[in-house]
Amino acid sequence: MSDPRSLLQRIPKVDRLLDEPPVASLRERLTHEALVGLIRALLAELREQAHAGTLAAEALAPGAIAERIAARAEAWLQPPLRRVINGTGILIHTNLGRAPLSPSSQQAVAQVLSGYSNLEMDLASGQRASRLARVRALLQRVCGAEDALAVNNNAAAVYLVLRVLADGREVVVARGELVEIGGSFRLPDIMRASGAQLREVGTTNRTRIGDYADAIGPRTGLILKVHPSNFVIEGFTESVSLGELARLAREREVPLLEDIGSGALAQHPRAYLREEPRVQASLRAGADLVSFSGDKLLGGPQAGILLGRAALIDAVRRDPLARVLRLDKLHLAALEATLLDYLRGDGGLQEIPLYRMMRRSVAELRGVAEGIAGELRDGLDADWRIDIVDTRAAAGGGSLPGETLASVGLEIRHPRHSPDALARRLRLGEPALVGRIERERLLLDLRSMTEEDWTLLGGLLIAHLSAADRGAQAQGD
């Protein structure tokens, strides 16, 4: 093993590396400061490796170091957010951006991006106007709500209500509804941050109306009912209906907020959403406020939507934090266009990708799979095994727990390529393709893809799988 001191002496200087062709070619794409920063970071790593005794002498060749710097620069220059083809079978995939936007939403965002917009101007009068006026009116019309407010996510909507109505006061909530939203973000944490004090009632599996009644007192600021949209409790259970809870809330003159999370509307096909609570039904049942996400079952952009009694919504709207949590022009454009899709009836709903994905028949999916499989068999080496298989897709995004949709997928195998290696290669492609691994086979579910994805899939797979073959052959040589 080489002496660390001799290795340290061989590490090239920054100026030398700047003149190496792979680095010099980057001067028109990165500033001098950015290039120097990349070089210094890599040199610092080499010094650490030398001290640790893990640095090989051949790694210190200026050309080799320059190639590593150039590779890191190329990674920097790639847009961090990239288009992904979703072959996981999860329609609302949180890690992949949740619900894809409708064509009208995409067009609305593109229009706003291309120049100025009437974000806070009434074009008829030329006077300043509220940026939320349009989306407020659309939410009232689509959801049949007395008043409406949109902020940047559902957690923000719940937080605002807790802050305005229950800061320093108690919030009564069933123990079995103290959910974790995701990423270790838990409802009790939101309550504590808002200044509200948690008052749990019932047990994990059983809560009765008497439990709520006994807990309500002079210090109660709010009753909170949470739809457990990302899990199911089965067996020896009992819960209180929203109607019962609303009657108690009216009797005790305490506001009632229902957080239904996923945001199913009356307009959504019951065949696909079945028992999921509907926004309009919650309002009719007596909830004073209802909150949900914009990028789940609504099929729009990330947003937190709050509906309900005008006096309560107005109090939340006037809180200074509502401005901090407000939507920007791009999210507003996408949300407004999504809501306009709903006003167009079933034709508009068909334009929302999530509902086209849900409504696809297994026969349609199988026909698409057969076409792509035939293309792959014609374009790939005979060692590749392409099978059409029955699968189960899921709504995802904390929606419809335990419910799945019959689907169809392509199963890909090769005797010399592991499923993990193939999955990684496809994830790193352009566009990225994300599938799932089942029974030691790479599976690409067709239900969670768009029609455009279907047209790209055959050629994309042939290119990447053929490249995998060439790489394996080169290593063998």
38/164 same-domain check: no
332/395 same-domain check: no
Cα distances from 138 to residues 31, 176, 342, in angstroms, run: 46, 34, 10
Does 407 map to a domain?
yes
| Alpha-carbon span 56 to 422, nearest angstrom | 30
Of 313, 329, 351, the domain-final residue: 351
pLDDT tens per residue, range 319-363: 999 999 999 999 999 999 999 999 999 899 999 999 999 999 999
| Alpha-carbon span 222 to 159, nearest angstrom | 12
| Alpha-carbon span 33 to 470, nearest angstrom | 38
366/472 same-domain check: yes
72/113 same-domain check: no
299/362 same-domain check: no
- Write out the two tokens for 10: 């061989």
The 3-state DSSP composition of the chain as helix, strand, coil percent (nearest 5) reads 50, 20, 30
400/301 same-domain check: no
Does 98 map to a domain?
no
347/253 same-domain check: yes
pLDDT recorded at residue 334: 97
DSSP 146: S
CA dihedral in degrees (384, 389, 394, 395; nearest 10)?
80
pLDDT recorded at residue 324: 94
471/454 same-domain check: yes
Please state the three-class secondary structure of 209-251 as a single string: HHHHHHHCCCCEEEEEEECCCCCCCCCCCECCCHHHHHHHHHH
Cα distances from 202 to residues 77, 207, 237, 283, 321, in angstroms, run: 54, 4, 11, 24, 32
Does 22 map to a domain?
yes
458/342 same-domain check: no
Query: pLDDT under 70 in the chain at which residues?
Result: 1-2, 180-185, 204, 229-237, 271-272, 274, 397-402, 471-477
User: How many other CB atoms are found less than 10 A from the CB of residue 13?
Assistant: 10
247/385 same-domain check: no
Phi, psi dihedrals of residue 213, rounded to the nearest 5°: -60, -40
| Alpha-carbon span 136 to 150, nearest angstrom | 8
- Where residue 440 sits, what CATH number does that domain have? 3.90.1150.110
| Alpha-carbon span 315 to 310, nearest angstrom | 9
Does 408 map to a domain?
yes
pLDDT recorded at residue 190: 85
285/365 same-domain check: no
- Where residue 115 sits, what CATH number does that domain have? 3.40.640.10
Does 409 map to a domain?
yes
- pTM to 2 decimals? 0.86
Q: Is the Cβ–Cβ distance between 290 and 272 less than 8 Å?
A: no
pLDDT recorded at residue 291: 96
Please state the three-class secondary structure of 249-267 as a single string: HHHHCCCEEEEEECCECCC
Domain total for the chain? 3
* Structural domain range at position 73: 4-77
Of 298, 333, 351, the domain-final residue: 351
Of 351, 383, 408, the domain-final residue: 351
Does 319 map to a domain?
yes
DSSP 103: H
Does 194 map to a domain?
yes
Q: Is the Cβ–Cβ distance between 132 and 149 less than 8 Å?
A: yes
Q: How far apart are the first and last CA of the chain?
A: 29
pLDDT recorded at residue 477: 47
180/232 same-domain check: yes
Does 296 map to a domain?
yes
